[in-house]
């Protein structure tokens, strides 16, 4: 019997900090199943992870963009299932060299990581689909990586405005088959958290593409 089937289901509240990796060689062994959170700096990635795990202290959040500079790994109550907080991209106020370093590590992680089951792209619902976001969508499409989009900070808009923004995003992404989930989200109000957890569980517990 597949030992995975006998494991208990994932509880996101079980998430624990595992390791911070400045480089690819510092990442945990490339086995099991991982879902990574990417997005523009300050979009709300770390906050989204904290909302999903119901642990406000899990990933460090900040008003200052560029807070998450390392690839941070979090374990779950399922053997070798992990959530990954990626450094934000597109933050203007760091030096060119630092930016290049981040981009290089991000690119290496995305290109090399065999256990990556899907990417959660976090974007501010008020500023969706920036140039970098679009690059990430295209990258996922090209590399056949499942993509979930969290349009976060929905609490900052009236519901009608949030709906309009969601429709605009959906229209722009119509042609992309990699987009499996598009979720209106708020780390503050917890909107979309359950839907997101369900989608994550399907990815993390589902069969591996490589097996």
Q: Point out which residues bind ligand GTP (CB under 6 A).
A: 39, 41-47, 61-63, 65-68, 88, 152-153, 155-156, 186-188
The 3-state DSSP class for residue 190 equals coil
Pull the structure tokens for residue 136. Answer: 């990430």
**DSSP-derived secondary structure letter, 86:** P
CB of 1 to ligand GTP, least distance (A): 39
Cα angle 189-191-196, degrees, rounded to a multiple of 5: 135
Among Mg ion, ligand GTP, none, partner that 43 touches (CB below 5 to 8 angstroms by kind): ligand GTP
Smallest separation, CB 85 to ligand GTP (Å): 7
Q: Token pair for residue 72?
A: 């941070």
Applying the rule CB under 5 A, the residues between 130 and 189 that interact with Mg ion are none
CA 120 to chain CA mean position, Å = 3
Of 42, 50, 53, 68, the residue at the interface with Mg ion (CB under 5 A) is 68
Q: How far apart are CA 198 and CA 194, in angstroms?
A: 6
- Partner interacting with residue 169 (select from Mg ion, ligand GTP, none; CB below 5-8 Å by kind): none
Note the residues at the interface with Mg ion (CB under 5 A).
Answer: 45-46, 67-68
């Amino acid at each position: 019997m597949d030992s995975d089937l006998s494991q208990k289901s994932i509880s996101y509240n079980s998430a624990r900090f595992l390791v911070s990796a400045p480089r690819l060689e510092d990442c945990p062994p490339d086995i099991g199943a991982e879902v990574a959170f990417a997005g523009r700096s300050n979009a709300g990635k770390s906050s989204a992870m904290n909302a999903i795990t119901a642990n406000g202290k899990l990933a460090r959040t900040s008003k200052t963009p560029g807070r998450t500079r390392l690839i941070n790994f979090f374990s779950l109550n399922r053997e070798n299932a992990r959530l990954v907080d990626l450094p934000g991209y597109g933050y203007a106020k760091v030096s060119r060299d630092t930016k290049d370093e981040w981009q290089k590590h991000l690119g290496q992680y995305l290109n090399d990581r065999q256990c990556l089951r899907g990417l959660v792209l976090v974007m501010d619902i008020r500023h969706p689909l920036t140039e970098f976001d679009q690059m990430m969508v295209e990258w996922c499409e090209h590399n056949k990586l499942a993509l979930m989009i969290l349009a976060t900070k929905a609490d900052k808009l009236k519901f009608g405005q949030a709906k309009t923004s969601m429709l605009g995003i959906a229209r722009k992404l119509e042609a992309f088959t990699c987009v499996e989930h598009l979720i209106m989200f708020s780390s503050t109000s917890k909107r979309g958290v359950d839907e997101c957890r369900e989608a994550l569980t399907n990815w993390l517990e589902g069969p591996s593409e490589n097996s």
